Structure 1
Amino acid sequence: MEQLSRLARNDMSIWNKVLVGLIAVMLLPLFYFSAVALKTHQYWRSVANKIEDRLEQLPEEIESLRYGGPGVEEGEHLNAVRIRLHEYLVNRGRIWRNAKFQGGEGGEYRVAVEVPDPHGITLNKTLYVFEQAPEGERGYFLGEFKVNAVVDKDPLITLVPTMQWMSPKAKERLESGQGSWTLCEVMPKDMQLAFEGMTEEEMRQLLPASVVDEYLAHGKDGAQRKLRDYFVLLKELDRQRAVLVEEQEAAKRHEAYMWAAANDAKDKQLKFRSDERASLMAELDRMKVERDASLARRQAVDEELAKVEAKIVQLMADNRATAEEMAKIQAELIRQVERRAEVVAH
């Protein structure tokens, strides 16, 4: 019995040692995770304290942002920004984006305006249509249009151009059916606000090279860019285009008249000259006949003249011979007279 109790005490001692060892091993992770938990608690407590301090400051900052105060620039508080935004939206009018061209003929263009639904566009409303370009790229003004047809609860509307002249490029873009359109209730106004915060590179990419330097110079050394009234400029441009197109058409008509007159004059002149040439050729033939007759007559006259001249020469020779004979006779008569006179004298 004593041996059994001794063995039992030895076995209990071993298990106690094992238990103590296991407890010692488990204490290390326990201490580690306790330290981590304490550190985490301290961290989040410090964060919570900062948030509590921040929450105490927020009402004052919110009031400053709403109505102005320390740390907020003049005119940059929420109410002022809301007022500026309201003014901007009022001046801008309504805008319908992502309108899709659905075809058209006879100068009418069907457009689907799906957002908002309903779109709220009414009959005879004037809209300014732009080609909708990707962000940062240039768009294209397609023209001023009037709403010619609207159907309730239908996104499809019909537009007709009101400008007197449309460039071939704008017409091609209108009828291509590619991309989307932006419909504006009011012609966008030229505002300095639209370009605030843009870098020089962004402005050079967005604006034409002919005017970008003017925009970049705004605000430098007191320079102020003159704002443009695009509605007036486009109307004047449309008027000038219409005048130029009419002048071009008139020039084409005058050119056609000129060529018609020139061709008519050319045909008449050609006929006149042809008739004149035929008349002159007939006259030439007649003159040739008369010339030949004249030459024949001259030849006959020359022959007759030669005969007459020969007779004259013969007559002159005969006359000279007769004269010599008569001279001899006269000389003989004179000698006879002188002889008779001498005879009588003696």
Structure 2
Amino acid sequence: MALVLQIVVLLVVLIGLITIIMSIKNWHWAQMVLALSIFFMSLATLFLGMETFRIHRNIRKAIPGLEQKLADVEEENRALQFGARNEDPAVMRIWTAEIFGGEPPYDAEAEGRMLSTSAWTTRLQDLARARGRVWRNAIPGAFNQKTNQIAVTIAPQQQAPPVDPDLAAAEPPADPAAAPAAAPAAPQGHGLTPDAIIYVFENGAPNPAAPDQGAQYIGEFKVVQANDVGVMLEPVQALNQFTGNRLVKSIQAAQQQKVTWSLYELMPADSHELFAKLDEAAKRSLLPAATVEEYLRQGTPATDDDDQYHRAAFDEAGNQIGADDAKADPSKVNQWRFDRPLRDYGYLFAEQMRERVVMEADVAALKQQIADLATAQANAKKLEAHRTSEKAVLAQDLNFMERDLAFVKKLLATINSQIANAKSQASDLLTANASMAQSLIDKQLAELKTIDERSPAPAQRSLLNAQ
């Protein structure tokens, strides 16, 4: 059709030019110029009209499709804003859209329909309340070792919502005569007040192979001062060598722009849904090898080796059954699955810190005991050397005493022999003395008898009968 139209236009141009040229003998040159001008302007008008028609035709060709697309988008917006049932065509289009990746944006079994924006907003608010407020990209300052306080700068939060660049480009330019637009909303404060308790984490990826080389939990802090741009934090628990070194290392990394902090109003809660959509590689890259198997086995069939704290009962519909109900009526149980116990990190961190302090105190006590034992051992060795020296001296004294004892024993034997001889001599002398005394008596009696015999008796009683 376009080729035929071009041929017709070319024929008209040729016929018009031939007609005007053949009329040159009868027309004035001014008439010729006027006729040619009119002819070419007519051609230009025809060409522009045809081009305008083509452009309008191409543009209007897409209008029905765009109108249908606009109607579908408006229907989808209404479905997202006010909710829709499963049979609504807009629901299927929303499922297959890129934003949802083919997955239903709701639980079809539990909810039965797509929820409205207000319902999602309420759930989001519930999740936000459960999670608490979070302050990202906080930058710690220098650490005051005397007061154990840290000045932390917090980025302000803008009250005005972000501007869509496509909508901003489509807006008409501002009227100079119109009233000036209102100034953008000023940044609002961070909202932290003194005596507030926050939990500090490093931003970044963890390192399961070497946890101390990746992003870590810094600790629990108390806000002691607050201003428009930041807060002054103080550790809730006393710092020890480990926590103090970790805190100083994190502050130095932040000052070198290698890491920032996230401040949580509440300790993040553990849940199975957080890791449900992660594949095995992602879980292994985030979790240490000591605990990653629990996360990989979550929801898989339980084994006989799993204790009661790592298994849960499910019915035929896939709903979890309480432990007491499963024990009371085993017929309800369709399958036992591995169930990872959830962790209370707020309690666990504090308990681990307490246990660490106790262990460090025990280690310090053991080190002191080892030092005391080393000192006692050194003293014992000194005493042993002293006693060994005394033993050598006493052994030498013993030799001397044994020599003296032998001499004394020999002397004693000599003395005993002399005593025995003296006793024997004394016995002999006593016997001889007694014999001589008896002889002397007998001699004296004999002499007295002789005297009595020789001398007359003056009386009737003699000397022998005086007694």
**Match in the other structure for 1:181:** 261
Using a 3 Å threshold, how does the CA distance of structure 1 residues 56 and 136 change in structure 2: closer, same or farther? farther
Does 2:274 align with 1:258?
no
Using a 3 Å threshold, how does the CA distance of structure 1 residues 153 and 56 change in structure 2: closer, same or farther? closer
1:132-151 matches, cutoff 5 A: 132-133=203-204, 139-147=215-223, 149-151=224-226
**Match in the other structure for 1:327:** none
**Match in the other structure for 1:66:** 81
**Match in the other structure for 1:159:** 234
Q: Give the Cα–Cα distance (whole angstroms) in 2 for the partners of residues 174 and 136 of structure 1.
A: 15
**Match in the other structure for 1:89:** 128
Q: Give the Cα–Cα distance (whole angstroms) in 1 for the partners of residues 49 and 276 of structure 2.
A: 55
- TM-score of the two chains, using structure 2 as the length reference: 0.51
Tell me which amino acid in the other structure corresponds to 2:190: H
In the TM superposition, residue 182 of structure 1 has moved relative to its aligned partner by 1.2
**Match in the other structure for 1:268:** 383
Does 2:151 align with 1:111?
yes
My pick for the range that moved more, 122-131 or 164-173, is: 164-173
Using a 3 Å threshold, how does the CA distance of structure 1 residues 194 and 98 change in structure 2: closer, same or farther? same
Determine if contact 2:150/2:233 at 8 Å carries over to the other structure.
yes
Q: Give the Cα–Cα distance (whole angstroms) in 2 for the partners of residues 136 and 278 of structure 1.
A: 68
Q: Give the Cα–Cα distance (whole angstroms) in 2 for the partners of residues 14 and 59 of structure 1.
A: 63
Match of 1:246 among 338, 348, 361: 361
Q: Give the Cα–Cα distance (whole angstroms) in 2 for the partners of residues 26 and 212 of structure 1.
A: 82
* C-alpha distance after superposition, 1:117-160 (max 9, x if no partner): 5322222222111112169996311111222x204445241322
Using a 3 Å threshold, how does the CA distance of structure 1 residues 13 and 217 change in structure 2: closer, same or farther? farther
In the TM superposition, residue 58 of structure 1 has moved relative to its aligned partner by 4.5
Q: Give the Cα–Cα distance (whole angstroms) in 1 for the partners of residues 75 and 142 of structure 2.
A: 58
Tell me which amino acid in the other structure corresponds to 2:220: E
Segments of 5+ residues of structure 2 without an aligned counterpart are 1-23, 92-105, 157-187, 209-213, 302-317, 319-336, 411-467
In the TM superposition, residue 97 of structure 1 has moved relative to its aligned partner by 1.8
Does 2:285 align with 1:205?
yes
**Match in the other structure for 2:25:** 9
Tell me which amino acid in the other structure corresponds to 1:202: A
My pick for the range that moved more, 217-226 or 99-108, is: 217-226
Does 2:64 align with 1:49?
yes
**Match in the other structure for 1:129:** 200
**When you count helix as a share of all residues, which structure comes out higher?**
1
Tell me which amino acid in the other structure corresponds to 1:204: R
Segments of 5+ residues of structure 1 without an aligned counterpart are 1-7, 298-346
* C-alpha distance after superposition, 1:278-310 (max 9, x if no partner): 3434555x48987xx99xx9xxxxxxxxxxxxx
Using a 3 Å threshold, how does the CA distance of structure 1 residues 274 and 126 change in structure 2: closer, same or farther? same
In the TM superposition, residue 43 of structure 1 has moved relative to its aligned partner by 2.9
Using a 3 Å threshold, how does the CA distance of structure 1 residues 277 and 49 change in structure 2: closer, same or farther? same
**Match in the other structure for 2:164:** none
Determine if contact 2:149/2:233 at 8 Å carries over to the other structure.
yes
Determine if contact 2:194/2:226 at 8 Å carries over to the other structure.
no
Q: Give the Cα–Cα distance (whole angstroms) in 1 for the partners of residues 284 and 61 of structure 2.
A: 49
Q: Give the Cα–Cα distance (whole angstroms) in 2 for the partners of residues 26 and 218 of structure 1.
A: 81
Tell me which amino acid in the other structure corresponds to 1:110: I
**Match in the other structure for 1:99:** 138
Higher relative contact order (CA 8 A, sep 6+): 1
**Match in the other structure for 2:438:** none
Q: Give the Cα–Cα distance (whole angstroms) in 2 for the partners of residues 45 and 136 of structure 1.
A: 58
* C-alpha distance after superposition, 1:31-58 (max 9, x if no partner): 4x65553333223223333333344444
Partner secondary structure for residue 103 of structure 1:
strand
Q: Give the Cα–Cα distance (whole angstroms) in 2 for the partners of residues 216 and 254 of structure 1.
A: 45
Q: Give the Cα–Cα distance (whole angstroms) in 1 for the partners of residues 385 and 206 of structure 2.
A: 67
Percent of counterpart pairs with the same letter?
Answer: 26
Q: Give the Cα–Cα distance (whole angstroms) in 1 for the partners of residues 228 and 241 of structure 2.
A: 31
Q: Give the Cα–Cα distance (whole angstroms) in 2 for the partners of residues 48 and 171 of structure 1.
A: 63
Determine if contact 1:129/1:143 at 8 Å carries over to the other structure.
yes
Tell me which amino acid in the other structure corresponds to 2:137: N
Q: Give the Cα–Cα distance (whole angstroms) in 1 for the partners of residues 55 and 207 of structure 2.
A: 47
* C-alpha distance after superposition, 1:176-204 (max 9, x if no partner): 24221111110001134434544443333
Does 2:108 align with 1:80?
no
Tell me which amino acid in the other structure corresponds to 1:98: N
- TM-score of the two chains, using structure 1 as the length reference: 0.66
Using a 3 Å threshold, how does the CA distance of structure 1 residues 281 and 174 change in structure 2: closer, same or farther? farther
Q: Give the Cα–Cα distance (whole angstroms) in 2 for the partners of residues 14 and 151 of structure 1.
A: 91
Determine if contact 1:102/1:177 at 8 Å carries over to the other structure.
no
The CA RMSD over aligned residues, in Å, is 4.1
Does 2:246 align with 1:170?
yes
Using a 3 Å threshold, how does the CA distance of structure 1 residues 139 and 177 change in structure 2: closer, same or farther? closer
Q: Give the Cα–Cα distance (whole angstroms) in 1 for the partners of residues 207 and 122 of structure 2.
A: 27
